[in-house]
Amino acid sequence: MKPTVFVARPLPGNHLERLAKHARVRVNDTGRDVRKEELAKAIAEADGLISMLVNPLDKSLLRQAPRLKVIANYAVGFDNIDVPAATELGIIVANTPDVLTEATADLAWALLLTASRRIVEGDRLVREGGFRGWHPGLLLGRQLSGKTLGIIGMGRIGTAVARRAAGFGMDVLYTGRRALRPELEEQLRARQTGLEQLLSMSDFISLHAPYTRENHHLIGAEQLRLMKREAILVNTARGALIDERALAEALRQQVIAGAGLDVYEREPQVEPLLLSCDNAVLAPHAGSATWETRSEMAAICVDAVIAALRGDVPRTALNGPLPRRQ
Ligand code: GLV
Ligand code: GLV
């Protein structure tokens, strides 16, 4: 009998048809996220799972899936999954690296430009009939060229953002576990530094670190106070890297000049105070939301599930090789 694979949301593209040659595919087509009990029921009988970043997969849930061999998370981030628990239970976990790097860097850049040039405020002004003609002081923003961009977390996406910064004539400061190669540092005008120095010296700051318990509220009231008053903060990584309430207060009191956010601490809820800040640009967690990227993410998840069900270690596995689960 073919193995069973549960897919937590319909996916763009037709990659699930390819999966259907290898497995019985069950898709949650309710038009909403699966609830925890529904997920528990679905994975109790599944050999494979394609999960969404909004599906928390903790140890107690994974224990209810005796046949599950692989979880392919339709995201690069995997903070929704207890990976050590999965490893202990013999479940392979895979994610979708690389294919969303450029799309996410583009969105970070879009937020940076939108916040610095006050595009959303301008759009509102025009639609509401407030544009009464050009004048020298209308909606002045901040220039990017000649400024310093601080990148927190210089992995694949952080590096892609730094490449864009070079095109805009910016200098880059960055924090991260690893330093870039010296030739690349030179090419990108990038210098590794400590967090405090980055916060106090950057004109624009963009977050590209994974969310871990140690990174919780990496940016809070104290860090916001270290930033320049003209600073603009962008987050396309994970909401809980920032103390959202503290950020909203800082924006309201103009401790910093602006923010461009794609992710929130308690999605889909957004701190109410943020909603009333004109100097915040708010996107709905859309970093990877291009047709190209979302289709490639589906392809990678399908490849990972097929490989794992065959007994191979998927190219995108985060753990393994693991003893084979029957
Ligand atoms: C999106 O947030 C992802 O992690 O892919
Ligand atoms: C602006 O529109 C200019 O021509 O300077």
pLDDT per residue over 52-74, tens digit each?
Answer: 999 999 999 999 999 999 999 99
ipTM for the complex shown: 0.74
- Closest among 1, 79, 7 to 305, alpha carbons compared: 7
Per DSSP (E only), the strands in the chain are 4-7, 24-27, 48-51, 70-73, 92-94, 148-152, 171-175, 190-192, 204-207, 232-235, 258-261, 280-282
For ligand 1, the distance from its centroid to the CA atom of residue 2, given in whole angstroms, is 30
Q: Which of 50, 73, 74, 76 to mutate to test the pocket of ligand 1 (most atoms within 8 A of CB)?
A: 76
Minimal-distance CA residue to ligand 1 atom 4: 77
Q: Is the distance from the beta carbon of residue 100 to the nearest atom of ligand 1 less than 6 Å?
A: yes
Q: Are 263 and 271 in contact (CB under 8 A)?
A: no
How large is the average pLDDT for residues 139-160?
A: 98
Query: For residues 38-74, b (16+ Cβ closer than 10 Å) or e, as one string?
Result: ebbebbeebbbbbbbbebebeeebbeebeebbbbbbb
| pLDDT over 90 percentage in the chain | 98
- Given 9, 15, 208, 285, which residue is catalytic? 285
Query: 101-116 vs 119-127: helix axis angle to the nearest 10?
Result: 60
pLDDT per residue over 183-196, tens digit each?
Answer: 999 999 999 999 99
* CA-78 nearest atom, ligand 1: 4
Enter the tokens of residue 115: 């916040």
Q: Is 285 a residue of the active site?
A: yes
pLDDT at 326 over 80: no
Distance (Å, rounded) from C-alpha 26 to C-alpha 227? Answer: 49
Q: Is the distance from the beta carbon of residue 75 to the nearest atom of ligand 1 less than 6 Å?
A: yes
Minimal-distance CA residue to ligand 1 atom 3: 75
Distance (Å, rounded) from C-alpha 263 to C-alpha 143? Answer: 25
For ligand 1, the distance from its centroid to the CA atom of residue 51, given in whole angstroms, is 12
Q: Is 135 a residue of the active site?
A: no
Distance (Å, rounded) from C-alpha 224 to C-alpha 246? Answer: 8
207 alpha carbon, closest ligand: 1
Q: How confident is residue 322, by pLDDT bands cut at 50, 70 and 90?
A: confident
Minimal-distance CA residue to ligand 1 atom 5: 75
pLDDT per residue over 262-280, tens digit each?
Answer: 999 999 999 999 999 999 9
Which pLDDT score is estimated for 325?
Answer: 80
